[in-house]
Chains A and B, each alone.
Chain A
């Protein structure tokens, strides 16, 4: 296997959980809700996913359980911020902390239990394309799901009426409400979708990347997913770019270390973050300010009856 091919394969594996979580959060934020609980939903997905897979012996059920766990966590957040109009930042942070703690309890019985990971599936024909086919189409199902999600969400948000309504809820919920749309219900569905994606990202960690349970195994990936949404200025394709850029620089710095590049490893380890910030600043400068975020992001909406 060519080294470049090997590196790209690793980059995709490293980036996929970030991309899955980011694309979910992107939809949530487009609907006007800021859910900082991605880390908590992701780690609950990881814990419930591996526990369910171990208990039932089925990876598919594990993934389903992980998605359900992410959605359940999101539902709590939705009930607090949409039902009770609680502060979204506070509720999101609480959800993260809660998820990290609860996942430890859920996973306690599965510490040190090994499990076969979910393997790759080569897509017929496509995987025979030299190089690109090897890198892109001999992957695990999660990677294909992430491709599909980026395309699907992009299509949904900009090519469907429902997507337009969802974006309207994020830009100006009062107008959307006046037009007769159920803003809170739409936002709640978006929040659930975000939870499902975060749960899926968690399942990727505990069922594919490192198929075992270890407390705190998400190690901050949920926060990076949040950053990628801002980096992407709320555009799905750019979120994919951001996730692969971040994953790519992360892997390259590991390779640089292994190859003995004489740079301080602390600096190399900081590189993904530095480059992400740099690109973000560049994008901002090119657009002359203006983040392009939904106008009502993070503002609770209470419909007056």
Chain B
């Protein structure tokens, strides 16, 4: 009896809540924004930077916006957590993982009065936007720098999972490296985790022992970079500026910066002009930037800056043809460029990368 009454009351409360919600197009004074993170805020990487973005949004919009954050949500728990956020009044929910794309897509039609934003999914719905940053542009710059710094001509890459995002990053590093020196080679170790500092350090050790002297990393933590510092070689930071972890080894970091985007999207909800957009921001968009170039000669730094600016203003593109697969099959000829969908679906290495696809 108690149980059924409780259910009844929750149902009634939800009903009252949804009746109070204004329609999608109406402007409003205040909004509650929810955010769901795949990892802990304390990962100093992907999730950490999304939380930083949320804080920035609160700073920009002041007391017009409140927010609820739920961290370390495994995909099976997504529905429950998202529904809870909606019940507590969230009008806009950022679901910040590709693993949440399908669950968000499933949930969005059932809550037409709530706006969803998924990083880094490929498709939108009337009340679901997707957003991502063109991190590969930073990878191209890393490749150029690596080719200048490496004496052994071998780049080490601590990779996570063989998904398109990581695969096109590896391809782009080499594209950048070959633009300087076509004899550059790469070694890849997959750690099968987004965050496992110990394993990342072991992978970095293995790569260095095999002769790599510049390390790229796709995992979030500073472990590979710290190893580079310890062993007197060079490396790049990921997700946030990691200069202080490796004052002598750090070359540059790719720094994620979601704050302005979050503020703009929350403001759109307040003003009643939110639209389901597909945003893929590059170096020019401010969604990510490169940390100051360190441990380089002035010539190397200015070359890196020139490449970075060319990518940002669109005069240089990382996916211009000719693009040939590892096995020799051509993808596009010279003069063409991969479409965004082709980049998002990339599941092959370029010719010249002698690493087996797992």
Contact = CB atoms under 8 A, between A and B. Distances in A.
Given A10-B206, A258-B206, A217 B198 contact: yes
Contact of B192 (A251, A259, A265): A265
B210 A214 contact: no
Interface stretch (B78-86, B183-191, B269-277): B183-191
B5 interface: no
Contact of B40 (A17, A216, A255): A216
Contacts of B72: 215
Contact of B189 (A3, A14, A104, A258): A258
Contact of B196 (A114, A219, A262): A219
Contacts of A259: 187, 210
Contacts of B188: 257-258
B198 A254 contact: no
B62 interface: no
B137 interface: no
Contact of B226 (A6, A212, A250): A212
A266 to B, nearest CB: 7
Interface string A107-134: 1100110100100000000000000000
Contact of B44 (A14, A214, A262): A214
Contacts of B196: 217, 219
A260 interface: yes
B309 interface: no
Given A215-B39, A217-B197, A260-B354, A111 B202 contact: no
A104 B47 CA distance: 14
- Which among A107, A112, A255 has the greatest number of chain B C-beta atoms within 10 A? A112
A217 B358 CA distance: 25
B40 A219 contact: no
A10 B202 contact: yes
Contact of B202 (A14, A107, A211): A14
Interface in A247-303: 250-251, 254-255, 257-260, 262, 264-266, 269
B43 interface: yes
Interface residues of B, number: 45
Nearest to A3: B209
A7 B209 contact: yes
Given A214-B42, A215-B43, A258 B210 contact: yes
B13 interface: no
A216 B37 CA distance: 14
A167 interface: no
Given A210-B221, A214-B42, A257 B190 contact: yes
B201 interface: yes
A230 to B, nearest CB: 22
B316 interface: no
Contacts of A262: 356
B356 A260 contact: yes
Interface residues of A, number: 41
Interface in A178-215: 205, 209-215
B215 to A, nearest CB: 11
Contacts of B212: 258
Contacts of B356: 260, 262
Interface in B39-53: 39-45, 48
Interface string B157-173: 00000100000000000
A11 B240 CA distance: 30
Contacts of B354: 260
A219 B188 CA distance: 21
Contacts of A251: 202, 205-206
Given A214-B42, A216-B40, A209 B187 contact: no
A112 B200 contact: no
Contacts of B189: 254, 257-258
A287 B222 CA distance: 46
A258 B207 contact: yes
Contact of A219 (B44, B198, B222, B245): B198
A218 B43 CA distance: 12
B355 interface: yes
A219 B193 CA distance: 9
B226 to A, nearest CB: 6
Given A112-B240, A216-B195, A257-B189, A104 B209 contact: no
Contact of A215 (B40, B191, B207): B40
B187 A260 contact: yes
Interface centre among A209, A215, A219, A262 (most CB of B within 10 A): A215
Interface in B264-299: none
A30 interface: no
A221 interface: yes
A7 B226 CA distance: 18
Given A219-B193, A251-B202, 9 more contacts: A7-B206, A13-B202, A108-B41, A108-B42, A210-B198, A212-B44, A221-B198, A260-B354, A269-B190
Q: Return the 8 tightest CB-CB contacts between A and B, nearest first.
A: A215-B40, A215-B42, A210-B197, A265-B358, A219-B196, A6-B209, A254-B206, A265-B190
11 contacts: A108-B41, A205-B197, A210-B197, A212-B226, A212-B245, A214-B44, A215-B40, A216-B43, A250-B199, A257-B190, A258-B203
